[in-house]
Structure formats: structure tokens, C-alpha cells
A and B are shown apart, each in its own frame.
Chain A
Amino acid sequence: MADLTLLVEAAVRRGGFTLTLDVTVPPGQVLGVLGPNGSGKTTLLRALAGLAPVATGRISLGGTVLDDAAAGTFTQAAQRPVGYVFQDYRLFPHLTVTENVAFGPRARGMGRAAGRAAAREWLARLGIADLAGRKPAQLSGGQAQRVALARALAGQPELLLLDEPMSALDARTRLEVQAELRQHLADFPGPCLLVTHDPLEALVLADRLLVLEDGKVVQDGPPARVARQPATEYVARLVGLNLYSGSLASAAGEPATVTVDGGGAFTVPGSLPADEEGLPGINACPSGRPQGARGDIPFAPPGRRVLIAVRPSAIVVGTEPPHGISARNVWPARVAGLTLLADRVRLDLRGKPDAFVDVTAAAVAELSLGPGSRVWLSVKATDLEVYRP
């Protein structure tokens, strides 16, 4: 198979909304597209599938131009080598499972018998051969999802698009389907885009994450880094981290202090790198643990903008100002709310700065915490993940 790299450098309009995007997806890569509702995730898939033309720019797949606004070329959806799993699956209600899966091969010129044979092969490969004669109305959510995937793959696409493939499933089915889907995505040779708003799904299934907000890419990188160094409040919330933006306040050489926007300050480890090269950008780090800002290079200029991510469990809560501890960052706060998570309680704390902190239920009882309680928070400088926005 030729080098099927997907290149998108385009703006897509939908109503008053514009999605601007410049992204390259190599073959075999699963790009997880994350973002809140209305961020342009589905708009992106529609443009790739040919269900909407780009307003400006171009889309190409393996060197073949699919859409080019400047040149005025546009490949119709039916002529694109694309497999699309829709959020609501869109299985044809009047056709059986086999006929649904055979639809792509048949539409692309296969005879009736050959199309059905191809469909049966795909159903067998996805382990749902026993559903062949059913109508979509007789399928469970998980079964319908598998049929939709089989239908998309049966057309032998070179580009695979999945729009929230598991959002319609219950939690239990989702786990099952997720494991299977992971396998099928690994087998798929071309580029694959997986739209989701479930961070776990994205972390498990995607090789790389692209975070969209309001029609723009706000973060693009390996899942491990997105999970560790979220670029925006939305991403931080998604991966369950506290995120602070601020600027470097201390002079060069001293332990650096970051003034947090909206009040408060953090002492951060060492000093921050001075130049762009010294602090790897979010787009530059290939994989693994990013080289944060562990004080390698002195002379960070005051005023540099930085982001700080903190795990909610790294912050310690006490009812008295802590003494004799190594934590460099101590500040008072007030409990605004408590939420019971699976095995712990998440405290919503107001202070300078605000924070989410996870504690055990026992700790809540011991410290008699409730809405309005006054507490002291502390966090070690080494638990702060400091990075460039």
C-alpha cells in the first residue's frame, strides 16, 4: 500500500462556526480527537469524509488531493476511500446485518454474491457472524457498534473515521468493545481518526491526541504528555489535574517563583530554562516523559508565561498551618464543595489559588470537613509539573 499519510491544512465552516486545522496523520496512527461539544470534532470528520467541503485549504491522502479550495477540486464522498463509523451508527433499518455490511462492497461495484461473501468474512472477523440475518432494530448497542465497524471496514477504506464510537454504549459493554476496537484499530493500515469526549477512551485507543476547542487545535501530542501537561483548563479537567497559568516572578538563579493568574504563587523546582530549545515545546517532544523544567538551565527571564499542573492527590489538606514539612507551597483555603468519587472524596477548594484535592473519606471524617471549612493546603515543589504553554 502506498504511503497513506493524511494531510489536512484547512478551514471548514459550518453555520457561523469555523474549524481551522493543520495536522498530519501517518498511516497506522490512531489520532484521538478530543474536545468539548461544539469544538469541531464532527465537522472535521465530515470534511474528511466529503460530507462537507473545506472553506479554504486542502485535504490530501497519500498524495491524492481529496479537497482543495484554491484549485477548486473536490472528491465526492462516494469516491473517497473512507470508512466512517457514525456516532448513531446509521445502520440501514430496512436491511439485514449482512446486507448492511455488503452495502459498501456492492456500491463499489462488487456483485451480489461476492458482496455477501465479503460481508460474511468481515462479520466473522469481528466475531458477529451469528448476527448476519438480523435487522438493526434487533441488535443491542454493542452489537450495532460492531456491525457499524464491520460495515465501515468492509469497503476496504484507506482512512478510517470513528465518531464517538462508544458513546451510545453502557459502561460494561464499553469495556468489552473497547478492547476489541483497540485490536481492530491496531490492524488497520491507514490513518485513523477517533473522535471522543471520553479521555480514558482516547488514552486507551489513541497513539496521539489532538485537542480541539472552539474550532482550534489547543494541544497535539502523545497521550502520556497530554495527560501530564494539559494545555488548557478543559484538558486538565478531562485528565483530572489542577491547572494554573502564571508567569515567572523570581530573578535568574534563585529558586523560581510563579505568580498565578488570579492570585497566589508557587515555588517551583530549580529555575526555568531560558530559551525555546531548552524547554521542549508540546509539539516537539516525541514520546515518553517530557523534559519538564527541572532546573537544568538557569537564567529564565522573569515574566515568562508557564503552566503548572498538579495532581489532586499531591496536595495535602490540614486544618492547621503545617509545621516542619518540606513542602514549599502552603496556602489557606475554604471548602466549597465535596464530591464522592469511587474510593475518595474530591474537595472543591477556594483560595489563592483554587484547587481540587482528593482525600480519603476517612480524612474527611477525621478533619470534620464540610462546606465552608477552613483548611491549609500544601504541595511539594517537586509535585508541580511546570511547562511552557
Chain B
Amino acid sequence: MNAGAPRGGRPGGLGGWFAPPRRLSPRERARLTGRGASPATAGGRLSVPAPLLVPAVIAVAFLVLPLAGLVRHAPWGRLGPALASADAVQALTLSLWTATVSTGACIVIGVPLAWVLARARFPGRPLLRALVTLPLVLPPVVGGVALLLALGRTGFIGRYLDEWFGLTIPFSPLAVVLAETFVAMPFLVITVEGALRSADQGFEEAAATLGAGRMTIFRRVTLPLVAPSLAAGAVLCWARALGEFGATITFAGSFPGKTETMPIAVYYALENDPDAAIALSLILLVVSITVLVSLRERWIRGSVVQ
């Protein structure tokens, strides 16, 4: 009997289904009648279920508390001199320009790769896709070793670069850029490829019927349509490049002013001047937050496809 009744429901009545009405302030009522919110699926503070709220709070604490520690231990009195020191400025400058250049390189070669992965049909595509994402799971140090073995002075490519062009890559700013590009590219490729796969190819067909060749379609239709994802991928890519440590120190070393980026500077500072390390970390933190927040607001949320 009453097999269909909900647990806790009284047989023969709906009593168990109904709870007394909850108080709903006018403000919350207004919020819940807004677009995209419904009292049943989302909305106000009170309606976040505890099994979701508690882990979410733990996650925020886990991410934010260590950074709070950084702020708490900051040698505020010595911050000015630490920031103004030639080493810090050099490291920051190097980090910023190498991350930017490597992001540019990722866009120039990564977007076409994303297009090929998303659109071209060829055998071995799953393998290629796996290879492209390899730097995501590979320890960066391993990436650095691999780069060294390939492009180092005795590497199988680097040997010829050295012999024919007199070009020595390792332990140069170029090596920093290459290491960062190697590690950061998957972020861009994966983001853009996903966007290309889910983009409506109907627009590209329409462009074709209007007389556009494939490159025109790519340039004037495909690329603008995935621009928000491209921007998001580029931001991720830049952030990853800025924080790159393992591959850089392996492949490029740590020559102050030449290959010593901010993360490497922090690492070495920690050994002999912890206060300086904290100061440098704070700079990196502020720069990263500023860039992430401003770019997210400007490009990602205010995207052309709404």
C-alpha cells in the first residue's frame, strides 16, 4: 500500500510533501524573479544546498588561505626597497615579456593546430590530440630535459643550429620563451579546439555560398566566432607561461637578467632572503590577479557571441 508515497509522507495525505512557507525577503524575491534564476534551481543565499556549500567553502579556503599567509608574512616595511631592487625589476621584466612572446607564439602556431585537430580528418588524429596535451601531464622538468636533448648544443636539432647558423638556444632568453611555449601551448590549443568543435559550421557554409574561400572564411568568420575562447585560452596560456618554473630552469638555467624569471628568482631568494622571496611572490600575485581579472571582464564576459 502506498508504495508511491514519498518517504516520510503520511499515508493517504500529502502532509509529508508540504513544508511551511519560508520567509522570502523582497530583495531576494526580486533576485529570484530576475533572468536566469528560479527558486527551484538557483538563486539566493538560503537556497544553496549544504552538501554543495560546505565543499565549496573548503575549496575557497584551500585556495585563498595560503595566499593570505603570503600577505600576512609580507615584510611591508621592506617591500618598497625589495620591489625597487634591480634584480626584482629585471626578473619581472623578463617574466612579463617572455610570457607575452610565448603566448604570441602559442597563438600563431596553436590556433592553426587547433583548427586541424577540430576540422581535418586524418588517421592518427586521436594520437595527435594526446600528444598535444602531453605537456599538461608531463612534469615540466621532463619537458625541460626533452627540450635540452632536442635543442641543446649537442641535441639532434640544436647541433645543426649551432653548426650552420651559430645559434645556441639553451640558457638564453629564447630558451625561456621556448620552455614557456612548450608548457603553455596545450592550454590554448585545447580551449580553441573545443570552441571550433562546438562552433556552428552553418556560418561557415553561409560564408562559402557568399563566395568566401577557406582562408577568408577562417579569417572573417571562424576566428571572430571563436574569439572569446581564443582570448580565454590566451589568458590561461599567458598565466601558465608566467608561472613556468621547471622546464625553464632546466632548459634555460637561471642567469639573472637573462634567464632568471620571477618564479626562479623567488625560488633562489627563498634560500638566502625569505623576505625578498615573499615580496617577489606578492608582485607576481598582484600582476597575475590584475591581468586575469581585467582580461576576463573585458574579453571573456563581453564576448561578441552572447
Contact = CB atoms under 8 A, between A and B. Distances in A.
Interface in A44-98: 49-51, 76-80, 82-84, 86, 88, 90, 92-95
A77 B208 CA distance: 6
Interface stretch (B58-66, B101-109, B159-167, B209-217): B209-217
A49 B206 CA distance: 10
Contacts of B203: 90, 92-93
Interface string A145-168: 000000110010000000000000
A90 B304 contact: no
Interface stretch (A29-37, A103-111, A122-130, A331-339): A103-111
A34 B150 CA distance: 64
B225 interface: yes
Interface of B: 202-203, 205-213, 216, 220-221, 224-225, 227, 304-306
Given A88-B202, A155-B211, A107 B304 contact: no
B211 A92 contact: no
Contacts of A93: 203, 225, 304-305
Contacts of B207: 92, 103, 107
Interface residues of A, number: 26
A49 B304 CA distance: 29
B209 A103 contact: no
Contacts of A86: 202, 205-206
Contacts of A92: 203, 206-207, 221, 224
A200 interface: no
A137 interface: yes
Nearest to A82: B209
Nearest to B213: A78
Contacts of B211: 78-79, 104, 107-108, 155
Given A93-B225, A107-B211, A155-B211, A84 B206 contact: yes
A50 B210 CA distance: 11
A94 B206 CA distance: 14
Given A77-B205, A88-B202, A94-B224, A107 B210 contact: yes
Given A51-B208, A78-B208, A78-B211, 4 more contacts: A49-B209, A50-B209, A76-B208, A151-B210
Given A103-B210, A155-B211, A90 B225 contact: no
B303 to A, nearest CB: 10
A90 B205 contact: yes
B135 to A, nearest CB: 31
18 contacts: A50-B209, A51-B208, A51-B209, A77-B205, A86-B205, A86-B206, A90-B203, A92-B224, A94-B224, A104-B210, A107-B207, A107-B212, A107-B213, A107-B216, A107-B220, A108-B211, A137-B306, A151-B210
A43 to B, nearest CB: 14
A297 to B, nearest CB: 50
Nearest to B221: A92
B230 to A, nearest CB: 13
A90 B210 CA distance: 12
Contacts of A103: 207, 210, 212, 220
Nearest to A101: B210
Contacts of B216: 107
Contact of B225 (A50, A82, A94, A108): A94
Contacts of B205: 51, 77, 86, 90
A202 to B, nearest CB: 23
Contacts of B305: 93-94
Contacts of B224: 92, 94-95
A139 to B, nearest CB: 14
A79 to B, nearest CB: 8
